[in-house]
């Protein structure tokens, strides 16, 4: 069965058949296709566009089909061209010629974009729930280790000491923005294109608002050509997924590094690790590594979808069939990444002593020594040079700054006195960053309270 073959007298070439057929992937839209078809059929009957008795038969047939779709009863190897053809064929086989009336006042062009919008609204809700769970997993680790301190790195070099909770809260902030992007793109995809037809609207007295309301859309599309031709909502969805995946990838990289013997800051649970086929001692962080790769995959999906759209004249073109695999893969990949990262975090062994020991190397208190001079009126650039000279000498003597003799400090700058030693301990360094958004313990405690309220976790 084809919805368009009256114009043609030769069969479709097998090469075109293979590339044109979308059922292997768009069958995922079957639930939305049936749901929207029920709303459309009811409207056709109410408006007198088709006989009420035929509309009722169509609705009953579609409701039975909806139950089969929900039960996963549709075979994956059906011969139909796409999900729209599949639903109409099955309906007509079951209720007879009345099924052919279902396509009155609609086109596959407005059907497919309506199906996709509705499906993505559901996907977005599911992904937001997973983002929230990921954020809660981060908070659970942060709250379980409130005093853990580790080096912050810039250029992958030890920079300054921070609380582990502060480090993890950075990823909670990213999760909040990821959630916001998903919510924002959902607002724009929440409009019904049904009634746009192929590109110009339809010539029947349809009630677009009633169909949109029953289907679950908040508003109507304003322009029929834009409605069938635009996929910027799909680009936004893939973009939101790609950015969220990039954030997860950065966290994954942290965990991969931290779990190496060279760092030793964390241990990964056996439940989220794998072994080597040849080296018995190996414990590999495959979950975080795959999350990194998924981020690259999603970036490619976004570039591919934008490439499809960039040169298309209005209105609908079959190129747009390529949107679905991109958005489905984006949602699936981000969902899988969020699940594995939440599991990884909840099984994490945090090695606080190793983190603290790492803070005691690398001269992480150097900035605080320079700030100590600056608070006494020394221009910061002068203070910076003085402490830089002191660090160079400390490195040569193999001593931390806190164990350098006072005369060494005074040789670096005459305003140094014994009070500088009180600024050099880890706790002092942390307390001194007492600004909104800083790593001072009281600021981090306040940030954790805010995050608990946002994500509904903790006490």
Identify the pLDDT of residue 2.
61
Measure the CA–CA gap between 119 and 30, rounded to whole angstroms: 10
- Domain spans, the chain: 5-104, 109-357, 358-455
Closest CA to 176 of 206, 144, 138, 148: 138
Fold of 109-357: Fumarase C; Chain A, domain 2 (1.20.200)
The C-alpha angle 198, 122, 221, rounded to 5 degrees, equals 35
CB 323 within 8 Å of CB 230 = no
Query: Cis peptide leading into 315, omega within 30 of 0?
Result: yes
Measure the CA–CA gap between 459 and 441, rounded to whole angstroms: 18
Q: Can you spell out the DSSP letters for 406-422? A: HHHHHHH-TT--GGGGG
276 included as an active-site residue: yes
Identify the pLDDT of residue 457.
62
Closest CA to 200 of 116, 314, 94, 313: 314
What's domain 5-104's architecture?
Answer: Orthogonal Bundle (1.10)
The H helix count followed by the E strand count for the chain is 18, 6
Provide the residue-wise pLDDT of the chain in tens; the chain has 459 residues: 566 466 667 787 888 888 888 998 999 999 999 999 999 999 999 999 999 999 999 999 999 999 999 998 877 678 899 999 999 999 999 999 999 999 999 999 999 999 999 999 999 999 999 999 999 999 999 999 999 999 999 999 999 999 999 999 999 999 999 999 999 999 999 999 999 999 999 999 999 999 999 999 999 999 999 999 999 999 999 999 999 999 999 999 999 999 999 999 999 999 999 998 999 999 999 999 999 999 999 999 999 999 999 999 999 999 999 999 999 999 999 999 999 999 999 999 999 999 999 998 889 999 999 999 999 999 999 999 999 999 999 999 999 999 999 999 999 999 999 999 999 999 999 999 999 999 999 999 999 999 999 998 643
In the numeric block, which tokens belong to residue 353? 């002593």
Identify the pLDDT of residue 13.
82
Neighbour-count burial for 16-45, b at 16+ CB within 10 Å, e otherwise: eeeeebbbeebbbbbbbbbbbbbbbbbbbb
13, 37, 145, 276: the catalytic one is 276
Identify the pLDDT of residue 459.
38
249 included as an active-site residue: no
22, 107, 155, 247: the catalytic one is 155
User: How far is residue 445 from each of residues 20, 152, 359, 437, 448, measured CA to CA in Å?
Assistant: 57, 18, 21, 11, 5
Q: How many CA atoms, within 13 angstroms, populate the side-chain half-sphere of residue 437? A: 2
Identify the pLDDT of residue 301.
97
CB 299 within 8 Å of CB 249 = no
Phi, psi of 163 (to 5 degrees): -70, 140
Fold of 358-455: Ribonucleotide Reductase Protein R1; domain 1 (1.10.40)
Judged by DSSP in three states, 192 sits in: strand
CB 350 within 8 Å of CB 141 = yes
User: How far is residue 257 from each of residues 188, 253, 270, measured CA to CA in Å?
Assistant: 39, 6, 17
List CB contacts of 58: < 8 A, sequence separation 6 or more: 37, 41, 91, 95, 98, 99, 101, 102
Closest CA to 14 of 78, 79, 71: 79
**10 Å Cβ neighbour count for 338?**
26
Identify the pLDDT of residue 93.
95
Q: What is the dihedral of CA 36, 38, 40, 44, to 10 degrees?
A: 180
CB 301 within 8 Å of CB 238 = yes
Closest CA to 386 of 423, 417, 412, 404: 412
Identify the pLDDT of residue 73.
82
């Amino acid at each position: 069965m084809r919805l368009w073959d009256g114009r043609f007298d030769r069969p479709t070439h097998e090469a075109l058949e293979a590339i044109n057929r979308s059922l292997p992937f768009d069958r995922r839209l079957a639930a939305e296709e049936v749901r929207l078809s029920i709303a459309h059929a009811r409207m056709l009957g109410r408006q007198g566009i088709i006989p009420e008795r035929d509309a009722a038969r169509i609705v009953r047939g579609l409701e039975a089909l909806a139950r089969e779709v929900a039960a996963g009863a549709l075979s994956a190897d059906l011969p139909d061209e796409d999900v729209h053809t599949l639903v109409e064929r099955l309906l007509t086989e079951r209720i007879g010629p009345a099924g052919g009336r279902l396509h009155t006042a609609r086109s596959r062009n407005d059907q497919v974009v309506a199906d996709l919008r509705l499906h993505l609204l559901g996907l977005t809700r599911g992904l937001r729930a997973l983002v929230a769970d990921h954020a809660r997993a981060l908070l659970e680790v942060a709250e379980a280790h409130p005093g853990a301190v580790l080096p912050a790195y810039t250029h992958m070099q030890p920079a300054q000491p921070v609380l582990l909770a502060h480090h993890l809260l950075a990823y909670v902030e990213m999760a909040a923005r990821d959630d916001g992007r998903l919510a924002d793109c959902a607002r724009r995809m929440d409009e019904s294109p049904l009634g746009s037809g192929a590109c110009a609207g339809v010539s029947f007295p349809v009630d677009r608002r009633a169909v949109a309301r029953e289907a679950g859309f908040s508003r109507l599309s304003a322009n029929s050509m834009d409605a069938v031709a635009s996929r910027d909502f799909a680009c936004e969805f893939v973009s939101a997924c790609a950015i969220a995946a990039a954030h997860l990838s950065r966290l994954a990289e942290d965990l991969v590094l931290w779990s190496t013997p060279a760092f030793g800051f964390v241990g990964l649970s056996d439940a989220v690790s794998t072994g080597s086929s040849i080296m018995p001692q190996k414990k590999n962080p495959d979950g975080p590594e795959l999350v990194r790769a998924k981020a690259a995959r999603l970036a490619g999906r976004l570039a591919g979808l934008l490439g499809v759209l960039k040169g298309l004249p209005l209105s609908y073109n079959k190129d747009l069939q390529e949107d679905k695999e991109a958005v489905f893969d984006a949602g699936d990949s981000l969902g899988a990444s969020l699940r594995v990262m939440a599991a990884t975090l909840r099984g994490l062994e945090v090695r606080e002593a190793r983190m603290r020991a790492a803070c005691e190397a690398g001269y992480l208190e150097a900035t605080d020594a320079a700030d100590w001079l600056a608070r006494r009126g020394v221009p910061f650039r002068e203070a910076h040079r003085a402490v830089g000279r002191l660090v160079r000498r400390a490195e040569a003597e193999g001593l931390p700054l806190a164990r350098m003799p006072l005369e060494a400090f005074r040789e670096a700058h005459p305003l140094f006195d014994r009070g500088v030693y009180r600024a050099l301990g880890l706790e002092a360094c942390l307390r001194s960053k007492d600004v909104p958004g800083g790593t001072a313990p009281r600021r981090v405690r306040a940030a954790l309270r805010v995050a608990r309220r946002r994500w509904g976790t903790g006490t």
